[in-house]
Amino acid sequence: MPQLIRKGVRIDDSFAEAFPMSGTGVVITAPTRKWALQAAHTMTGFATSVIGCGCEAGVDLELSARETPDGRPGVRVLLFAMSQKDAEKQLVNRLGQCVLTCPGTAVFSALAGEQQIKVGDAVRQFGDRWQISKRLNGRRYWRIPVMDGEFLCEGTVGLTTKSVGGGNLLVMGEDWTSTMRATEAAVAAMADVADAIAPFPGGVVRSGSKVGSKYKGMGASTNDAYCPTLYGITTSALDPDIGCVLEIVIDGLTEQAVADAMRAGLKAIVALGPKHGAKRVGAGNYGGKLGPFHYHLKDLLP
């Protein structure tokens, strides 16, 4: 693979291949930052990949009390799915089970979006006719009586079908510790990019997959070309000095947000250098025929 070198880090002349998704999001507030984060983490817990979780979700940004509609600490959560219907179903289920139940929380729409999906307008029935509608500045809020007071939930939240899922970076290093150091630095840098999330645990995935399998009926299986323990025995994409590969997958509300997150991640990895961090960075794609969005690493370099 042809490569560029930045501060000693080898950058593959490759691209990440991404797909259109439906993206939506909510701002969750609570009396304390702790409980806002608790609701956000519970709601986005089992949401790493659309394949098994129905959606991909994560914390976009933490908001200070000054930035939220009700003046309490908040968290902006984004959720992505393959269709508008899936996004709506996942969001309503997760809000109903994870946020309605979480003490002190309130929910607001996180984006305008070209579509509106019903959230409070669905959850309201939990109020058993004790729920109260309040309209302010063209937005409807539902007040649902619960055991710690009231759950306040906006009637609808915005959804955009112009979201992008599947932006990624493959971080390759000598061992687990140094590779993880570079990966964590990249994830931390991406956390500051608005409108983008890394849905996997801590933003990182170690089980990258390829299309197809030797077993019948399995659509995807381990990406042996990037498994360091198979370096000698399979057609490997790795080099002799690579002992660990970690991937960061990025979903964003816009094509730009994904590019910005990848750029921020690359910058952090390069800044760390090959001695303590990653020796090489690549990107995953399927040959460019499946996804309409191509993020070439060479365009995103610092």
- Chain residues binding another protein by CB under 8 A are 69-72, 106, 130, 132-137, 141, 143, 149-152
Q: Which is nearer to another protein, 135 or 275 (CB)?
A: 135
φ/ψ of residue 263, rounded to 5: -65, -45
HSE value, Cβ hemisphere, 13 Å, CA-based, for 144: 27
Q: Which is nearer to another protein, 106 or 281 (CB)?
A: 106
| 146 bridge partner residues | 149
Shortest reach from residue 68's CB to another protein, in Å: 9
Q: Are 117 and 156 in contact (CB under 8 A)?
A: yes
Shortest reach from residue 286's CB to another protein, in Å: 45
Shortest reach from residue 70's CB to another protein, in Å: 4
Q: Which is nearer to another protein, 133 or 207 (CB)?
A: 133
Shortest reach from residue 119's CB to another protein, in Å: 15
Q: Which is nearer to another protein, 80 or 142 (CB)?
A: 142
Shortest reach from residue 285's CB to another protein, in Å: 45
Q: Which is nearer to another protein, 136 or 233 (CB)?
A: 136
φ/ψ of residue 108, rounded to 5: -130, 155
